[in-house]
Amino acid sequence: MILIGLDPGLGTTGWGVIAAEGNRLSHVANGQIKTEPSMELARRLALLHDALFEVIRTHRAESAAAEEVLGNSNAQSTLKLGQARGVVLLAASRSGLAVGEYHPSVVKKAVVGTGGAEKRQIQAMVQVLLPGVKLAGPDAADALAVAITHAHHLASARSLTRRAYA
């Protein structure tokens, strides 16, 4: 199964594609979609949607997962992040994908083992779990961590379903 993980952001949205075969994960691709702060908001959101839609199509993703938004003290920044996240969810949904959503602490715990992990710890563990990966940047690493989390959750759900009907 080909999974895409998404780390939404208005300035930079990270994406990471992995292949999951049972418990075996392998890196397919990763990158970052950047928008210019000088552009009008609607244009930035359209650019984000179109670029992400193309990434999903190119890599033939079968399932998607996105990181949930954490609020911060700047309401304007939180609103813009929420708008970018909405576009990310829209692009995945319009591509026909079911979208899992994970709180950042769940992603950190799934990949690093602790919900309070730092970005550099996530990057290091992504490189361990996906040997040979060349990270396009920290947002791409976060997106790959989201994809890994989604793969683990899907595998657990399949296992539980098999046991229930065995």
Cite the annotated binding site for Mg(2+) by residue number: 7, 67, 139
Number of CB atoms found within 10 A of residue 82's CB = 14
Q: Which H or E run includes 3?
A: strand 2-7
Token couple for 2: 């080909």
* Residues linked to residue 36 through DSSP beta bridges, in sequence order: none
C-alpha 111/C-alpha 124 separation (Å) is: 10
Q: Which H or E run includes 14?
A: strand 12-21
Token couple for 146: 């989201």
Catalytic residues: 7, 67, 139
